[in-house]
Amino acid sequence: MSDYSKIDTYYVMPNGKRARCAGDVDKFLEANPEYKNRISASDFSFAPLKVVEETVSHNSAWKAAKAKKQEKAEAQK
């Protein structure tokens, strides 16, 4: 079973910038106080999701990415 949990978790803020951690949300709220009464950093979870192979589409893009990752790992051995 493959583990695809190396996926980054981020949210796109109303200004279009990505928030990758609670600190980024805090910075956004400091710069945009009009949102402070609507959201807080605790409303977001940045924990990586556990994604297993059975839940992933096996289209050619996934197969190509998996093959590339395996080639890279083998080249580093």
Q: Is the dihedral of CA 9, 15, 17, 20 positive or negative?
A: negative
For the chain, percent of residues with pLDDT exceeding 90: 43
Q: What would the mean pLDDT of 37-60 be, rounded to a whole number?
A: 78
In a domain, 5, yes or no: no
- CB atoms closer than 10 angstroms to residue 19: 19
Look at the pTM and tell me if it is higher than 0.85: no
d(CA 11, CA 29): 14
Place of tokens 């949300």: 25
In a domain, 44, yes or no: yes
- CB atoms closer than 10 angstroms to residue 25: 21
Residues in a beta bridge with 3: 52
In a domain, 6, yes or no: no
Q: Count up the domains in the chain and report the number.
A: 1
At 1, is the pLDDT very low, low, confident or very high (cuts 50, 70, 90)?
very low
In a domain, 26, yes or no: yes
Give the model confidence (pLDDT) of 14-39 as tens digits.
999 999 999 999 999 999 999 999 99
In a domain, 1, yes or no: no
35: domain range? Answer: 11-75
Q: What would the mean pLDDT of 47-58 be, rounded to a whole number?
A: 70
